[in-house]
Amino acid sequence: MPKVKIPRKSTIVDMTAMCDVSFLLLTFFILTAKFRPDELVAVDIPISHSTSTFDDAITIMINKEGKAYISLKESKTRFLMLEKMIEKYGDTYPQLKTLTDNQKQFFSLIETWGTPIEDMGRVLSMNGTQLQEYQKTQMPGIPKDSIHNQLGDWVQASRYATEGNIKIAIKSDKDTNIEPVKEVVKDLTAKDIHRFLLVTSLAGGGSSASAGNTKTGE
């Protein structure tokens, strides 16, 4: 007897719901994505193959002109560092003792700075627009000579604020003369700081850090 032929029907899948979900997810990721901000201090770092990280470090940045700046992500640590610097330099620069709580909180929002401590009051009196302009074109860098070793004092203040639980990184432009880097290392050793990271760029992209040590045999 002949076989019974079952009529074939085309299968239709309604993709409307899937498209809606896809566009909703795309919209969510676009609205919540945070773009990496431009660095205030342009530093073109050299290349290495190390894979150590330094996200939790206080970073000393040295530009082509040899000026030094400090960058730190943790706002609470920045606040405590300023308090320690006021305690150390308050008698020398009495204007520091007049900084208000609002100005100190304002400083805790500044991730990168390069201001001599005696000029901190003027800078923290700026509004947001003035501060951005100052950071981009006018920051003179932190004093780091043997007489005015404010850079070493800032790093020491960071260790005080974190009870010593902080990494120290040096990020120098690849075209910087070696002398400013040696000067920074000398400033750190003057504060009995002998361990630090040297920030470089990975050969395949990204950033890394290799350990440096000024004490032989360690």
Per-residue pLDDT reduced to its tens digit, 158-169: 999 998 889 999
- Name the token pair of 76: 């609470």
- Single-letter amino acid, residue 13: V
Dump pLDDT digits (tens) for 148-157.
899 999 999 9
What lies within 8 Å, CB to CB, of 189 at 6+ separation is: 214
The answer, yes or no, to whether residue 47 has pLDDT greater than 70, is no
Per-residue pLDDT at 204: 45
The answer, yes or no, to whether residue 201 has pLDDT greater than 60, is no
CA distance 97 to 177: 37
> Quick one: average pLDDT of 67-92?
94
Per-residue pLDDT at 205: 47
% of the chain at pLDDT higher than 90: 44
Which helix (H) or strand (E) segment holds residue 70: the answer is strand 68-71
Q: Are 78 and 155 in contact (CB under 8 A)?
A: no
Closest Cα partner for 61 from 124, 111, 108? Answer: 111
Query: Regarding beta strands 167-172 and 195-202, do their DSSP bridges make them parallel or antiparallel, or are they unpaired?
Result: parallel
CA distance 135 to 16: 50
CA distance 57 to 59: 6
Least confident of 32-41, 149-158, 194-203: 32-41
Task: Report residue 146's pLDDT band, with 50, 70 and 90 as the boundaries.
Answer: confident
Closest Cα partner for 161 from 62, 100, 70? Answer: 70
Q: Which residue shows structure tokens 């530009």?
A: 63
Q: Are 154 and 113 in contact (CB under 8 A)?
A: no
Radius of gyration (Cα) for the chain, nearest Å?
A: 26
